[in-house]
Amino acid sequence: MYDGGKIIVGIIIGLVLLTFPIWYTHGMAPKRPEVKLPEKEKQCVQSKEYMKTKHMQLLDLWRDSVVRVAQRSYVAPNGTKYDMSLQNTCMSAECHAKKTEFCDRCHDYTGVVPYCWDCHIPPKEEPKEKPEEMH
Amino acid sequence: MGVNRRKFLKIAGISTLGAAAVPAANALAMNPIEWLDKQLGGFTPSEILLHMGHKPTGLKSREALTAKRWAMVVNVRQLDEEIAEACREICHKIHNVPHIKNPKHEIKWIWAEHYEHALPGQYHEHIDENLKKLPFLVMCNHCFNAPCCRVCPTKATFKRKDGIVLMDMHRCIGCRFCMAACPFGARSFNWIVPWPRAEDGKFEGKEPPSPEFPTRSKGVVEKCNFCAERLAKGQIPACVEAAQELCKKKGREPALVFGDLEDPDSEVRQVLRSHYAIRRKPELGSKPNVYYIV
Protein backbone atom coordinates (compact mmCIF):
# COMPACT_ATOMS: atom_id res chain seq x y z
CA MET A 1 0.00 0.00 0.00
CA TYR A 2 1.46 3.36 -0.99
CA ASP A 3 1.28 6.09 1.64
CA GLY A 4 -0.34 3.62 4.04
CA GLY A 5 0.52 5.67 7.10
CA LYS A 6 -1.06 8.82 5.69
CA ILE A 7 -4.22 6.98 4.70
CA ILE A 8 -4.64 5.37 8.12
CA VAL A 9 -4.03 8.67 9.89
CA GLY A 10 -6.52 10.28 7.51
CA ILE A 11 -9.13 7.62 8.24
CA ILE A 12 -8.62 8.02 11.99
CA ILE A 13 -8.94 11.80 11.77
CA GLY A 14 -12.02 11.35 9.60
CA LEU A 15 -13.63 8.96 12.07
CA VAL A 16 -12.87 11.29 14.98
CA LEU A 17 -14.47 14.20 13.14
CA LEU A 18 -17.47 12.15 12.07
CA THR A 19 -18.16 10.88 15.55
CA PHE A 20 -17.41 14.24 17.15
CA PRO A 21 -21.07 15.11 17.81
CA ILE A 22 -21.59 11.76 19.52
CA TRP A 23 -18.75 11.78 22.01
CA TYR A 24 -18.65 15.52 22.49
CA THR A 25 -22.25 15.72 23.66
CA HIS A 26 -22.10 12.40 25.53
CA GLY A 27 -23.98 12.61 28.79
CA MET A 28 -25.25 16.06 27.98
CA ALA A 29 -28.62 14.99 26.64
CA PRO A 30 -31.24 17.53 27.63
CA LYS A 31 -33.80 16.34 30.14
CA ARG A 32 -36.90 14.77 28.69
CA PRO A 33 -39.67 17.29 28.68
CA GLU A 34 -42.34 16.97 31.33
CA VAL A 35 -45.75 18.11 30.24
CA LYS A 36 -48.08 19.57 32.80
CA LEU A 37 -51.36 17.70 32.79
CA PRO A 38 -54.59 19.53 33.41
CA GLU A 39 -55.50 20.06 37.04
CA LYS A 40 -59.28 19.75 36.82
CA GLU A 41 -59.96 17.34 33.97
CA LYS A 42 -58.59 13.82 34.39
CA GLN A 43 -60.19 12.12 31.37
CA CYS A 44 -58.94 12.72 27.83
CA VAL A 45 -60.85 11.78 24.68
CA GLN A 46 -58.52 8.80 24.22
CA SER A 47 -55.98 6.92 26.32
CA LYS A 48 -52.69 8.55 27.25
CA GLU A 49 -50.74 6.15 25.04
CA TYR A 50 -52.97 6.85 22.06
CA MET A 51 -52.71 10.59 22.51
CA LYS A 52 -48.93 10.43 22.92
CA THR A 53 -48.38 8.79 19.58
CA LYS A 54 -51.44 9.68 17.53
CA HIS A 55 -52.76 13.08 18.60
CA MET A 56 -51.78 14.55 15.25
CA GLN A 57 -53.78 11.95 13.32
CA LEU A 58 -56.71 12.50 15.66
CA LEU A 59 -56.61 16.27 15.14
CA ASP A 60 -56.31 15.80 11.40
CA LEU A 61 -59.36 13.56 11.45
CA TRP A 62 -61.22 16.07 13.58
CA ARG A 63 -60.54 18.94 11.25
CA ASP A 64 -61.70 16.99 8.19
CA SER A 65 -64.75 15.76 10.03
CA VAL A 66 -65.72 19.24 11.23
CA VAL A 67 -64.88 21.28 8.17
CA ARG A 68 -65.74 18.91 5.36
CA VAL A 69 -68.55 16.68 6.58
CA ALA A 70 -70.00 18.84 9.37
CA GLN A 71 -69.82 16.05 11.94
CA ARG A 72 -68.62 17.87 15.00
CA SER A 73 -69.37 15.45 17.79
CA TYR A 74 -66.66 12.94 18.72
CA VAL A 75 -67.60 9.75 20.50
CA ALA A 76 -64.81 8.68 22.83
CA PRO A 77 -64.20 4.96 23.49
CA ASN A 78 -66.03 5.29 26.82
CA GLY A 79 -69.09 6.72 25.08
CA THR A 80 -68.69 10.36 26.13
CA LYS A 81 -69.37 12.88 23.37
CA TYR A 82 -66.99 15.76 22.78
CA ASP A 83 -67.19 18.77 20.52
CA MET A 84 -64.35 18.29 18.03
CA SER A 85 -62.41 21.47 18.56
CA LEU A 86 -58.74 22.07 19.23
CA GLN A 87 -59.38 25.61 20.35
CA ASN A 88 -62.54 25.07 22.40
CA THR A 89 -62.28 21.48 23.68
CA CYS A 90 -58.61 20.48 23.96
CA MET A 91 -57.39 23.90 24.97
CA SER A 92 -60.38 24.94 27.06
CA ALA A 93 -59.94 26.46 30.50
CA GLU A 94 -60.80 23.10 32.13
CA CYS A 95 -58.25 21.12 30.14
CA HIS A 96 -54.96 22.11 28.54
CA ALA A 97 -55.37 25.72 29.52
CA LYS A 98 -51.69 26.49 29.07
CA LYS A 99 -50.16 25.84 25.69
CA THR A 100 -46.68 26.74 26.92
CA GLU A 101 -46.82 24.07 29.61
CA PHE A 102 -48.28 21.35 27.43
CA CYS A 103 -47.97 21.51 23.63
CA ASP A 104 -44.85 23.63 23.52
CA ARG A 105 -42.80 21.50 25.92
CA CYS A 106 -42.56 18.48 23.61
CA HIS A 107 -42.79 20.39 20.37
CA ASP A 108 -39.87 22.62 21.36
CA TYR A 109 -37.85 19.60 22.53
CA THR A 110 -38.34 17.73 19.26
CA GLY A 111 -38.13 20.81 17.08
CA VAL A 112 -41.64 20.40 15.72
CA VAL A 113 -43.35 23.56 14.57
CA PRO A 114 -47.02 22.79 13.91
CA TYR A 115 -48.86 25.59 12.13
CA CYS A 116 -52.09 25.16 14.11
CA TRP A 117 -51.48 28.41 15.92
CA ASP A 118 -51.07 30.50 12.79
CA CYS A 119 -54.86 30.69 12.84
CA HIS A 120 -56.21 28.99 15.95
CA ILE A 121 -56.08 31.13 19.04
CA PRO A 122 -54.17 29.62 21.97
CA PRO A 123 -55.66 30.16 25.42
CA LYS A 124 -54.68 33.30 27.23
CA GLU A 125 -52.00 32.73 29.82
CA GLU A 126 -51.11 34.95 32.71
CA PRO A 127 -47.46 36.00 32.61
CA LYS A 128 -45.49 33.92 35.11
CA GLU A 129 -43.61 36.79 36.68
CA LYS A 130 -45.56 39.94 36.95
CA PRO A 131 -43.44 42.90 35.98
CA GLU A 132 -42.75 45.09 38.98
CA GLU A 133 -45.09 47.95 39.37
CA MET A 134 -43.73 51.30 38.46
CA HIS A 135 -43.76 53.87 41.21
CA MET B 1 -63.20 -40.58 10.94
CA GLY B 2 -61.54 -37.80 8.99
CA VAL B 3 -63.25 -35.09 6.97
CA ASN B 4 -62.81 -35.64 3.28
CA ARG B 5 -62.15 -32.84 0.84
CA ARG B 6 -65.72 -32.74 -0.47
CA LYS B 7 -67.21 -32.39 3.00
CA PHE B 8 -64.67 -29.74 4.03
CA LEU B 9 -65.46 -27.57 1.00
CA LYS B 10 -69.20 -27.88 1.68
CA ILE B 11 -68.85 -26.75 5.30
CA ALA B 12 -66.50 -23.92 4.34
CA GLY B 13 -68.91 -22.70 1.66
CA ILE B 14 -71.96 -22.76 3.87
CA SER B 15 -70.25 -21.00 6.76
CA THR B 16 -68.96 -18.27 4.40
CA LEU B 17 -72.48 -17.70 3.15
CA GLY B 18 -73.79 -17.60 6.70
CA ALA B 19 -71.19 -15.09 7.85
CA ALA B 20 -71.84 -12.82 4.88
CA ALA B 21 -75.63 -12.96 5.21
CA VAL B 22 -76.08 -10.21 7.82
CA PRO B 23 -73.94 -7.49 6.20
CA ALA B 24 -75.30 -8.44 2.77
CA ALA B 25 -78.89 -8.14 3.98
CA ASN B 26 -78.05 -4.77 5.59
CA ALA B 27 -76.45 -3.55 2.38
CA LEU B 28 -79.40 -4.63 0.27
CA ALA B 29 -81.82 -2.85 2.58
CA MET B 30 -80.49 0.59 1.57
CA ASN B 31 -79.64 1.99 -1.80
CA PRO B 32 -76.03 1.61 -2.91
CA ILE B 33 -75.17 5.30 -2.50
CA GLU B 34 -76.52 5.39 1.04
CA TRP B 35 -74.60 2.24 1.85
CA LEU B 36 -71.32 3.63 0.48
CA ASP B 37 -71.94 6.87 2.34
CA LYS B 38 -72.33 4.96 5.57
CA GLN B 39 -69.17 2.98 4.95
CA LEU B 40 -67.20 6.13 4.28
CA GLY B 41 -68.79 8.11 7.10
CA GLY B 42 -69.38 11.05 4.80
CA PHE B 43 -65.76 11.26 3.64
CA THR B 44 -64.65 10.76 0.05
CA PRO B 45 -62.64 7.59 -0.67
CA SER B 46 -59.48 9.66 -1.10
CA GLU B 47 -60.00 11.25 2.28
CA ILE B 48 -60.40 7.81 3.82
CA LEU B 49 -57.12 6.75 2.23
CA LEU B 50 -55.54 9.89 3.63
CA HIS B 51 -56.48 8.83 7.12
CA MET B 52 -55.12 5.31 6.54
CA GLY B 53 -57.53 3.15 8.41
CA HIS B 54 -58.55 5.80 10.92
CA LYS B 55 -62.26 5.52 10.54
CA PRO B 56 -64.08 8.75 11.23
CA THR B 57 -66.11 8.46 14.39
CA GLY B 58 -67.80 11.82 14.19
CA LEU B 59 -71.49 12.40 14.64
CA LYS B 60 -73.76 15.27 13.90
CA SER B 61 -74.71 16.88 17.17
CA ARG B 62 -78.35 16.62 18.03
CA GLU B 63 -79.05 20.33 18.30
CA ALA B 64 -77.59 21.12 14.85
CA LEU B 65 -79.89 22.77 12.31
CA THR B 66 -79.98 20.80 9.09
CA ALA B 67 -81.44 21.40 5.65
CA LYS B 68 -81.28 20.08 2.13
CA ARG B 69 -80.39 23.49 0.73
CA TRP B 70 -79.86 26.55 2.88
CA ALA B 71 -80.96 29.86 1.42
CA MET B 72 -81.43 33.47 2.47
CA VAL B 73 -83.89 36.11 1.41
CA VAL B 74 -82.96 39.79 1.72
CA ASN B 75 -85.97 42.07 1.82
CA VAL B 76 -84.16 45.24 0.81
CA ARG B 77 -87.10 47.59 1.41
CA GLN B 78 -87.00 46.68 5.11
CA LEU B 79 -83.31 47.49 5.42
CA ASP B 80 -81.75 50.73 6.53
CA GLU B 81 -78.21 51.87 7.28
CA GLU B 82 -78.53 50.94 10.93
CA ILE B 83 -79.65 47.35 10.30
CA ALA B 84 -77.06 46.84 7.58
CA GLU B 85 -74.32 48.11 9.85
CA ALA B 86 -75.51 45.89 12.73
CA CYS B 87 -75.36 42.84 10.44
CA ARG B 88 -71.89 43.69 9.22
CA GLU B 89 -70.64 44.40 12.71
CA ILE B 90 -71.88 41.20 14.35
CA CYS B 91 -70.66 39.03 11.45
CA HIS B 92 -67.20 40.53 11.39
CA LYS B 93 -67.00 40.38 15.17
CA ILE B 94 -67.90 36.72 15.66
CA HIS B 95 -65.76 35.59 12.72
CA ASN B 96 -62.69 37.62 13.68
CA VAL B 97 -62.74 39.52 10.40
CA PRO B 98 -60.09 42.21 10.77
CA HIS B 99 -60.90 45.85 10.15
CA ILE B 100 -58.29 46.98 7.65
CA LYS B 101 -58.57 50.53 6.37
CA ASN B 102 -56.52 50.10 3.20
CA PRO B 103 -59.15 49.11 0.59
CA LYS B 104 -56.57 46.98 -1.23
CA HIS B 105 -56.13 44.75 1.82
CA GLU B 106 -59.68 44.93 3.11
CA ILE B 107 -61.47 41.74 4.22
CA LYS B 108 -65.25 41.55 4.11
CA TRP B 109 -67.82 38.82 4.58
CA ILE B 110 -70.97 40.92 4.37
CA TRP B 111 -71.36 44.55 3.36
CA ALA B 112 -73.83 47.11 2.02
CA GLU B 113 -73.71 47.88 -1.69
CA HIS B 114 -75.53 50.39 -3.89
CA TYR B 115 -78.31 49.14 -6.15
CA GLU B 116 -76.34 49.58 -9.37
CA HIS B 117 -73.47 47.50 -8.00
CA ALA B 118 -75.58 44.82 -6.37
CA LEU B 119 -77.86 44.29 -9.37
CA PRO B 120 -75.96 45.80 -12.30
CA GLY B 121 -78.11 44.12 -14.95
CA GLN B 122 -81.28 45.59 -13.49
CA TYR B 123 -80.12 49.19 -13.42
CA HIS B 124 -81.47 52.02 -15.56
CA GLU B 125 -81.31 55.77 -15.12
CA HIS B 126 -84.98 56.26 -14.24
CA ILE B 127 -84.96 53.85 -11.35
CA ASP B 128 -86.80 54.78 -8.14
CA GLU B 129 -84.71 57.29 -6.17
CA ASN B 130 -85.44 55.50 -2.88
CA LEU B 131 -84.11 52.25 -4.26
CA LYS B 132 -80.81 53.92 -5.04
CA LYS B 133 -80.43 54.91 -1.41
CA LEU B 134 -81.20 51.48 0.08
CA PRO B 135 -78.27 49.47 1.47
CA PHE B 136 -78.18 46.20 -0.47
CA LEU B 137 -76.66 43.69 1.90
CA VAL B 138 -74.44 41.43 -0.15
CA MET B 139 -72.39 38.38 0.80
CA CYS B 140 -71.40 35.02 -0.62
CA ASN B 141 -74.39 33.71 -2.57
CA HIS B 142 -73.60 30.06 -1.83
CA CYS B 143 -74.35 29.36 -5.47
CA PHE B 144 -75.91 26.07 -6.38
CA ASN B 145 -73.55 25.89 -9.33
CA ALA B 146 -70.61 27.54 -7.63
CA PRO B 147 -67.87 28.65 -10.03
CA CYS B 148 -65.37 29.03 -7.18
CA CYS B 149 -65.61 25.33 -6.32
CA ARG B 150 -65.08 24.40 -9.94
CA VAL B 151 -61.82 26.26 -10.25
CA CYS B 152 -60.27 25.52 -6.87
CA PRO B 153 -57.26 23.29 -7.57
CA THR B 154 -57.06 21.87 -4.04
CA LYS B 155 -60.76 21.53 -3.25
CA ALA B 156 -60.17 24.01 -0.44
CA THR B 157 -63.46 25.60 -1.32
CA PHE B 158 -66.21 23.07 -1.68
CA LYS B 159 -69.93 22.68 -1.57
CA ARG B 160 -71.41 20.96 1.43
CA LYS B 161 -74.38 18.64 1.00
CA ASP B 162 -76.69 21.25 2.53
CA GLY B 163 -75.69 23.78 -0.13
CA ILE B 164 -73.25 25.86 1.89
CA VAL B 165 -70.07 26.78 0.02
CA LEU B 166 -67.30 26.54 2.57
CA MET B 167 -63.62 27.31 2.79
CA ASP B 168 -61.19 24.78 4.22
CA MET B 169 -58.43 27.13 5.29
CA HIS B 170 -56.12 24.17 5.90
CA ARG B 171 -56.09 23.43 2.20
CA CYS B 172 -56.13 26.92 0.68
CA ILE B 173 -52.89 27.66 -1.17
CA GLY B 174 -53.82 31.26 -1.93
CA CYS B 175 -53.92 30.97 -5.72
CA ARG B 176 -56.99 33.23 -5.87
CA PHE B 177 -58.59 31.35 -8.79
CA CYS B 178 -61.82 31.40 -6.79
CA MET B 179 -61.67 35.18 -6.50
CA ALA B 180 -61.33 35.45 -10.26
CA ALA B 181 -64.19 32.98 -10.73
CA CYS B 182 -66.64 34.56 -8.28
CA PRO B 183 -68.92 36.95 -10.20
CA PHE B 184 -69.98 38.71 -6.98
CA GLY B 185 -66.63 39.73 -5.47
CA ALA B 186 -67.66 37.90 -2.32
CA ARG B 187 -64.16 36.68 -1.54
CA SER B 188 -61.30 38.49 0.15
CA PHE B 189 -57.63 37.60 0.18
CA ASN B 190 -55.42 37.99 3.22
CA TRP B 191 -52.63 40.11 1.77
CA ILE B 192 -51.30 40.85 5.22
CA VAL B 193 -51.33 38.92 8.50
CA PRO B 194 -54.80 39.78 9.82
CA TRP B 195 -53.96 39.51 13.53
CA PRO B 196 -50.20 39.90 13.90
CA ARG B 197 -48.54 38.04 16.76
CA ALA B 198 -45.16 38.31 18.43
CA GLU B 199 -42.63 35.45 18.69
CA ASP B 200 -44.20 34.20 21.92
CA GLY B 201 -47.62 33.94 20.28
CA LYS B 202 -49.12 36.99 21.95
CA PHE B 203 -51.13 39.33 19.76
CA GLU B 204 -49.44 42.56 18.83
CA GLY B 205 -51.92 45.34 19.11
CA LYS B 206 -55.56 44.41 18.78
CA GLU B 207 -56.77 40.99 19.83
CA PRO B 208 -59.34 39.08 17.79
CA PRO B 209 -62.76 39.71 19.35
CA SER B 210 -63.93 36.07 19.35
CA PRO B 211 -61.45 33.73 21.03
CA GLU B 212 -63.58 30.68 20.21
CA PHE B 213 -63.40 31.19 16.43
CA PRO B 214 -60.13 30.73 14.54
CA THR B 215 -58.43 33.61 12.76
CA ARG B 216 -56.85 33.27 9.34
CA SER B 217 -53.23 33.30 8.25
CA LYS B 218 -51.67 35.45 5.58
CA GLY B 219 -52.20 34.04 2.09
CA VAL B 220 -55.63 32.45 2.31
CA VAL B 221 -58.96 33.48 0.81
CA GLU B 222 -61.98 33.92 3.06
CA LYS B 223 -65.68 34.66 2.73
CA CYS B 224 -69.08 34.27 4.38
CA ASN B 225 -69.70 30.72 5.64
CA PHE B 226 -73.48 31.10 6.23
CA CYS B 227 -72.54 30.75 9.92
CA ALA B 228 -71.85 27.02 9.58
CA GLU B 229 -70.43 27.01 13.12
CA ARG B 230 -73.67 28.52 14.49
CA LEU B 231 -75.91 26.14 12.52
CA ALA B 232 -74.01 23.28 14.14
CA LYS B 233 -75.09 24.66 17.51
CA GLY B 234 -78.69 25.12 16.45
CA GLN B 235 -78.51 28.87 15.87
CA ILE B 236 -79.46 30.80 12.73
CA PRO B 237 -76.83 33.02 11.07
CA ALA B 238 -75.79 36.01 13.16
CA CYS B 239 -76.73 38.62 10.53
CA VAL B 240 -80.24 37.18 10.23
CA GLU B 241 -80.66 37.16 13.99
CA ALA B 242 -79.42 40.75 14.33
CA ALA B 243 -81.57 42.02 11.45
CA GLN B 244 -84.71 40.27 12.69
CA GLU B 245 -84.25 41.68 16.17
CA LEU B 246 -83.86 45.23 14.89
CA CYS B 247 -86.77 44.87 12.46
CA LYS B 248 -88.99 43.66 15.28
CA LYS B 249 -88.02 46.70 17.32
CA LYS B 250 -88.87 48.97 14.40
CA GLY B 251 -92.10 47.13 13.69
CA ARG B 252 -91.11 45.94 10.24
CA GLU B 253 -91.23 42.68 8.37
CA PRO B 254 -87.95 40.76 8.85
CA ALA B 255 -85.32 42.13 6.46
CA LEU B 256 -83.38 38.86 6.40
CA VAL B 257 -84.95 35.40 6.31
CA PHE B 258 -83.05 32.14 6.42
CA GLY B 259 -84.21 28.59 5.85
CA ASP B 260 -84.39 25.42 3.80
CA LEU B 261 -85.23 26.04 0.15
CA GLU B 262 -86.28 22.43 -0.36
CA ASP B 263 -88.80 22.52 2.45
CA PRO B 264 -92.09 23.95 1.08
CA ASP B 265 -93.16 25.11 4.56
CA SER B 266 -89.93 26.88 5.46
CA GLU B 267 -89.87 30.60 6.12
CA VAL B 268 -87.84 31.34 2.99
CA ARG B 269 -90.29 29.48 0.78
CA GLN B 270 -93.23 31.31 2.35
CA VAL B 271 -91.55 34.67 1.77
CA LEU B 272 -90.62 33.72 -1.79
CA ARG B 273 -94.24 32.74 -2.44
CA SER B 274 -95.66 36.01 -1.20
CA HIS B 275 -93.05 38.36 -2.70
CA TYR B 276 -91.41 38.67 -6.09
CA ALA B 277 -87.71 37.99 -5.55
CA ILE B 278 -84.71 38.18 -7.85
CA ARG B 279 -81.15 36.92 -7.68
CA ARG B 280 -77.88 38.62 -8.52
CA LYS B 281 -76.57 38.07 -12.06
CA PRO B 282 -78.91 35.16 -12.86
CA GLU B 283 -77.77 35.23 -16.49
CA LEU B 284 -74.46 33.64 -15.44
CA GLY B 285 -76.22 30.46 -14.35
CA SER B 286 -74.48 30.13 -11.02
CA LYS B 287 -77.88 29.86 -9.32
CA PRO B 288 -77.33 31.91 -6.17
CA ASN B 289 -79.05 30.85 -2.97
CA VAL B 290 -79.47 34.43 -1.76
CA TYR B 291 -82.65 36.10 -3.00
CA TYR B 292 -83.51 39.81 -3.07
CA ILE B 293 -86.94 41.32 -2.68
CA VAL B 294 -86.73 44.77 -4.25
Q: What is the pLDDT of residues A1-33, one digit of tens each?
A: 788 899 999 999 999 999 998 888 888 878 888
pLDDT tens per residue, range B52-97: 655 555 777 788 899 999 999 999 999 999 999 999 999 999 999 9
Rounded to whole angstroms, the Cα distance separating B181 from B151 reads: 7
Residue type, B69: R
B210 inside domain: yes
Interface of B with A (CB under 8 A): 41-43, 47, 50-51, 54, 56-61, 64, 158, 160, 162, 166, 168-170, 201, 208, 211-212, 214-217, 228, 232
Same domain, B215 and B81: yes
Rounded to whole angstroms, the Cα distance separating A66 from B57 reads: 11
Query: For the ranges B43-47, B174-178, B202-206, B211-215, which has the lowest average pLDDT?
Result: B43-47
Query: For the ranges A27-41, B21-35, B253-267, which has the lowest average pLDDT?
Result: B21-35
Same domain, B148 and B51: no
Q: If you average pLDDT over residues A101-122, what whole number do you get? A: 92
Average pLDDT, chain B: 90
Q: If you average pLDDT over residues B121-130, what whole number do you get? A: 88
Q: What is the extent of the structural domain holding B106? A: 70-293
DSSP-based helix, strand, coil % in chain A, nearest 5 = 45, 5, 50
- Domain positions in chain A are 48-118
B276 pLDDT band (50/70/90 cuts)? very high
- Dihedral sign of CA atoms A92, A95, A100, A105 in order: negative
CATH of the domain at B126: 3.30.70.20
Best B36, B37, B61 member to test A by mutation, with max A CBs in 10 Å, is B61
Same domain, B42 and B175: no
**Interface confidence: ipTM more than 0.85:** no
Total count of domains within chain B: 2
Same domain, B188 and B115: yes
Same domain, B159 and B128: yes
Q: Which residues 6+ apart lie within 8 Å of B273 measured at CB?
A: none
Residue whose C-alpha is closest to residue B91's, from B224, B217, B182, B185: B224
Are the CB atoms for B255 and B75 separated by under 8 Å? yes
Q: If you average pLDDT over residues B105-117, what whole number do you get? A: 95
